[in-house]
Structure 1
């Protein structure tokens, strides 16, 4: 068996790319805003151009464009050229640009779980020196992404946001069931879903997804129950702590709290129809629920496990290629990131909970009920294990977890089979 541990950091779940791609938007058309080519440098009397790539090709793109436009209008030394790449092809396009140097960005958005991979390929430069020169401090941001993206004592990203799994609930169904507040622990959750279930009307307390977004839910449950996905030397999702959480999910199907054989996105369809009282999903669902006119609430995911509160999350951040060496360009990047760190309220308006403490502590952000609630999870978030090729290793879990939830295998057998398949992938 090959050794898969990195010294400090590692690759994220490959599958989380699909998850966070969903969070980043919908259409596949490359989009350019605030555009133009690099326009020389300040020394030549022209603005220094900064090519900035992002995967925000959905509804969130205009919010980042607004930030870029405001920055460009706020000063006359730098011009940020904002380019949106097709979200599904983002990392493929980035790999080509970084390896060939053709149309290489000076600054790009990167999911925090991807940072160790690109750093290990020697394609990123530490950003702490650039940040310090611009007056940006690590302490200005939520701790989790800063800690994760610090490799060999060097910081490689400036965090933009954190998107943890959260709990959405139907306020109308809660009121009818006489439940006055969202559950915060297992006992409250189990009692609530029983009250919320009305099989005669086709209403369920909690519809258990068999596929997505289990990639966010299952790790949270395992960690909450004192288990690990990786124990330091081997995969560990067949531990008693993990199997207990799989059984908990299966029990809700057997008790009729959830329908059986839920198809992809079935839990969301029922939530939109007012027939699923509770859903665990990401902040990116907000716009869909708003557009549907749902009377819903959002809360921190309850601590279902017995050990601790732990919530799986993703995060967007800014990174710079190692090949960017021009001093004017680097100074411009620092100036732009300094601006964003204090002016990311426009990004919060997209539904995201920003990582900047300056913005989080502002009265304007605190008045955003949804975003401020999401940020309450930040102290408990965890990212993917620090294991190389983790996405490939953990991939068998999702099919086997589905088998357990559907009753095709016992939870223990399903997780044992997942571990065996993961170990095979590690050879």
Structure 2
């Protein structure tokens, strides 16, 4: 029995807690089953009416990435006249709330939407998503054309539920000026190099730190990476496992940097980023979405894959955006339109890469144009080592207590082992 099935009965009723993104609105078409794109040279009949078949596409991209997706949609709409994609962006804090309402009531439901890959199992378990295998096949989309990790994660009971758009792993940003001043020629790739580098980079008299340890976000990306690298797990197949020796060692490693003065104590939310922007934090681990902020600030920064701090293997936590289709979308014309649009995106996602994202399309990843994008190609260098959140229903709710207890340990309010034991106890209460 698969992991998700073993845990479905005990966890299914819980409320999903995921990073909140964006939403929009839609109508339910009642078409008459026109031809699909593959049968019409990439264009559909529009039900024989001569009017373009319209699909409503919900997106969470309410930040600087929004215009890049709009550019893709506009380019698609102008490339043909059989289909029209209506692109809707909503404030990111309301996305899943509005999505839950739309999918449960059927009112103003989208025909196509973006979803984080680690949310797919929960929505699939609620019978709100449809497999995309048939849709993809008719549109000429092959799962083998995409990075393996999101395809494998979103394949449930041998059926695929997403067409991946991108993968966004944690990466290492570093201040090139501080590195040069400290005589460090290249970013660290392992724990020994990292520990030595942050010692050299720290200048307490000037208030400059080698690595400012965040006490809150983005530990959701950092800590799982460290645990996996050290041979531990967040979920061992039947239970939460972040009080293991492998996990506790990484908690203590983070705390040690505070005790040694490499990092200040009591770092507030986004404090590590504020100091990085001020040139007083030499290294930070964060996601590709920080690129535009650092560019706008005029920082002389570099980016590298996250070093292997743990003893066991290379690993890095990642998220992924993908396209999913509500189960209630059954109109043949709309499904053909969705397939045609996704075929277009998978071949034209270089425009999405320009937003700073490393795309999931192998065709684009292997292109000279993508490889010329130094930042994005560096991010893609982590793809072979990415891991997503445990494939457990309602994982966000289960793991939530971990972040507060991890903060307690980093701040020195609790010993590392006690903090992780307490986190496990609270997560078990959430599961029950």
Q: If the TM-score is normalised by the length of the shorter chain, which range does it land in?
A: over 0.9
Secondary structure at the aligned position of 1:63 is classed as helix
Structure 2: segments with no counterpart, 5+ residues: 32-45
Query: Within 1, Cα distance between the matches of 2:334 and 2:127?
Result: 20
- Report the alpha carbon displacement of residue 38 of structure 1 after superposing the two structures with TM: 7.6
Matched, 1:174 2:179: yes
2:27–2:109 contact (8 Å) kept in structure 1: no
Q: Which residue number corresponds to residue 343 of structure 2?
A: 338
- Report the alpha carbon displacement of residue 388 of structure 1 after superposing the two structures with TM: 2.3
Q: Which residue number corresponds to residue 90 of structure 1?
A: 95
- Report the alpha carbon displacement of residue 275 of structure 1 after superposing the two structures with TM: 0.2
TM-score normalised by L of structure 1:
0.93
The structure-2 alpha-carbon separation of the partners of 1:266 and 1:234, relative to structure 1 and needing over 3 Å to count, comes to same
Query: Within 2, Cα distance between the matches of 1:42 and 1:297?
Result: 52
Matched, 1:6 2:4: yes
1:13–1:384 contact (8 Å) kept in structure 2: no
Secondary structure at the aligned position of 1:212 is classed as coil
- Report the alpha carbon displacement of residue 5 of structure 1 after superposing the two structures with TM: 5.0
Matched, 1:311 2:313: no
Q: Which residue number corresponds to residue 399 of structure 1?
A: 404
- Report the alpha carbon displacement of residue 420 of structure 1 after superposing the two structures with TM: 1.5
**Of 369, 378, 386, which residue of structure 1 is paired with 2:383?**
378
Q: Which residue number corresponds to residue 362 of structure 1?
A: 367
Secondary structure at the aligned position of 2:4 is classed as coil
The structure-2 alpha-carbon separation of the partners of 1:388 and 1:184, relative to structure 1 and needing over 3 Å to count, comes to same
TM-score normalised by L of structure 2:
0.92
Alignment of 1:183-202 (within 5 A): 183-202=188-207
Query: Within 2, Cα distance between the matches of 1:367 and 1:37?
Result: 42
Query: Within 2, Cα distance between the matches of 1:5 and 1:360?
Result: 31
Q: Residues 241-278 of structure 1: CA distance to partner in whole angstroms, max 9, x if unpaired? A: 00100010011111110011111110000000000000
Q: Which residue number corresponds to residue 135 of structure 1?
A: 140
Q: Which residue number corresponds to residue 27 of structure 1?
A: none
Query: Within 1, Cα distance between the matches of 2:177 and 2:190?
Result: 21
Secondary structure at the aligned position of 1:6 is classed as helix
1:39–1:46 contact (8 Å) kept in structure 2: no
- Report the alpha carbon displacement of residue 7 of structure 1 after superposing the two structures with TM: 2.4
2:174–2:303 contact (8 Å) kept in structure 1: yes
Structure 1: segments with no counterpart, 5+ residues: 25-29
Query: Within 1, Cα distance between the matches of 2:108 and 2:389?
Result: 31
Q: Residues 354-406 of structure 1: CA distance to partner in whole angstroms, max 9, x if unpaired? A: 00011111111111111110011111111111222222221111111111111
Mean CA deviation greater in 290-299 or 320-329: 320-329
Q: Residues 64-123 of structure 1: CA distance to partner in whole angstroms, max 9, x if unpaired? A: 010011101111111111111221111111111111211211111111111111111111
Q: Residues 111-157 of structure 1: CA distance to partner in whole angstroms, max 9, x if unpaired? A: 11111111111111100111011110011000000000000000000
The structure-2 alpha-carbon separation of the partners of 1:5 and 1:39, relative to structure 1 and needing over 3 Å to count, comes to closer
1:97–1:103 contact (8 Å) kept in structure 2: yes
CA RMSD of aligned residues (A): 2.2
Query: Within 2, Cα distance between the matches of 1:108 and 1:98?
Result: 11
Matched, 1:215 2:213: no
